[in-house]
Chain A
Amino acid sequence: MTAMCDVAFLLLSFFVMTATAKQPEPKPVDTPASTVIDKLPEDGVGTITVGDKEVFFTIPRNIRRSTLERISTEKGIQFTEGEYKAFENTEGFGVPLNQVKGLLALSPAKRNAPGFQKGIPYDTINDQLTDWVKQAREANKAMYDAQLQEGKITAEEFGKKGDLAIAIKGDAKEDFMTVKRVIDILQEQKKNKFFLITGLRNKDF
């Protein structure tokens, strides 16, 4: 019994220390598998989730606030301090711009209820995904620009991190056309290099 107890607590402490809680996502998707074993960079990656023809955007935490500030000035929507705080704690979101305020007023559990968020509009007439990606990239660039001016990072590091990395997390069953449209949106703003998030495939594929 004593030994079992010891092992149990050893494991427990291990898991407590390594734990990074799974963030609730508004749109859980089943990514396709691949044999590529490159890992996604840990931070500083904006993720575009695509599933059921709906698009969601996850902005890295450190630029979430500044991105919303930029959106606020560009689109003329005022946000309160509380709303900024709520936005900083929102992992991913997918609502049209005019519903962002309403979304932030809700509790996180309600926000991430399946089917509640209907995705960011990304069609050619009302292309809000472009705005979000553009502002996030600019916010990221501005942040590292400031750090470069202060001499906190070198020019080499700036070259690596200055442009926000974008990952596309698509559902395996998603139509290619939807993903293609997202790729086109990125390419329109000269973002030609990005990641596709995939799952692990067994060896004998």
Chain B
Amino acid sequence: MAELNTGGGGGDGKKVRSKKSNPGVDLTAMVDLAFLLITFFMLTTTLSKPQSMPLVMPDKDVKDQPRTDTKIPEERMMTILIGKDNKILWYFGILKTPIIPPTVAAFGKDGIRKEIIKNTIYAKQHTTKADEGLIVNIKASDAASYKNLVDILDEMAINKVQLYAIGDITPEETTLLKDKGLY
């Protein structure tokens, strides 16, 4: 392929011999250029599309429709409050009479995930329907970062929580966070 066609014929026997030896073309410069271009295209392309997490928020505007209050059983209801410094405060049941009182937890598999798994089992025991499980209410305080929100939504996806929603934090819960030094 990369050979120079050393043309020319005639002459004596010696010259015919040198024709066979086929001197190669110096490809170094071409390959250099090719690799330079490869590098350029590799760095400028975005091969993978960005990942996305679908998020559905509950409808806010309830003025134009009749309110249908669905009772949420407290033995399946977990509330997660996100405070400052990547800390979580969670409780199970209703805030005034919690089944499990507010507990501080960290993010990750050794922190909140263990608690969610435990609570999922608890919730499953307190329902008769197979498709019903834990209900999680996520409430992020003003001190939380966006990463915390994505992390906790990710936990919901990892643990396949049946139902979860992002709610607004109440003043009582903010006080609770303050008491624990998480706000």
Q: Which residues of A contact B (CB under 8 A)?
A: 1-2, 4-5, 8-9, 11-12, 15-16, 18-22, 31-40, 42, 50, 167, 169-180, 183, 187-188, 190, 192-201, 205
Contacts and interface: CB of A to CB of B under 8 A. Distances in A.
A200 B50 CA distance: 9
Given A187-B57, A190-B61, A196-B55, A176 B154 contact: no
The 4 A-B residue pairs whose C-beta atoms are closest, nearest first, are A15-B41, A8-B34, A195-B52, A40-B52
Contacts of A34: 51, 53, 150-151, 153-154, 157
Contact of A173 (B38, B45, B61, B145): B145
A5 B31 contact: yes
A196 B150 contact: yes
B54 interface: yes
B45 A22 contact: yes
Given A193-B55, A195-B55, A32 B147 contact: yes
Contact of B30 (A5, A22, A42): A5
Nearest to A36: B53
22 contacts: A9-B34, A15-B38, A15-B41, A15-B45, A20-B45, A21-B45, A34-B53, A34-B154, A36-B157, A38-B54, A39-B50, A172-B145, A174-B145, A176-B140, A179-B146, A188-B60, A190-B61, A192-B58, A192-B59, A193-B54, A196-B54, A198-B51
B183 to A, nearest CB: 13
B51 A193 contact: no
Determine the interface band of chain B, counting residues with CB < 8 A from chain A: 35 or more
A13 B53 CA distance: 33
A201 B69 CA distance: 38
A174 B146 contact: yes
A178 B142 CA distance: 9
Contacts of A197: 50-53
Contacts of A2: 1-2, 27
Contacts of A199: 50-51
A1 B34 contact: no
Contacts of A5: 2, 27, 30-31, 34
A169 B49 CA distance: 13
Contacts of B98: none
Contacts of A175: 142, 144-146
Given A1-B2, A1-B24, A176-B145, 7 more contacts: A1-B27, A34-B53, A167-B52, A171-B146, A178-B146, A194-B55, A198-B53
Nearest to A50: B146
A105 B53 CA distance: 36
A59 to B, nearest CB: 17
Given A32-B146, A39-B52, A175-B145, A190 B45 contact: no
Nearest to A169: B50
Contacts of B44: 19, 21-22
B51 A38 contact: yes
Contacts of B130: none
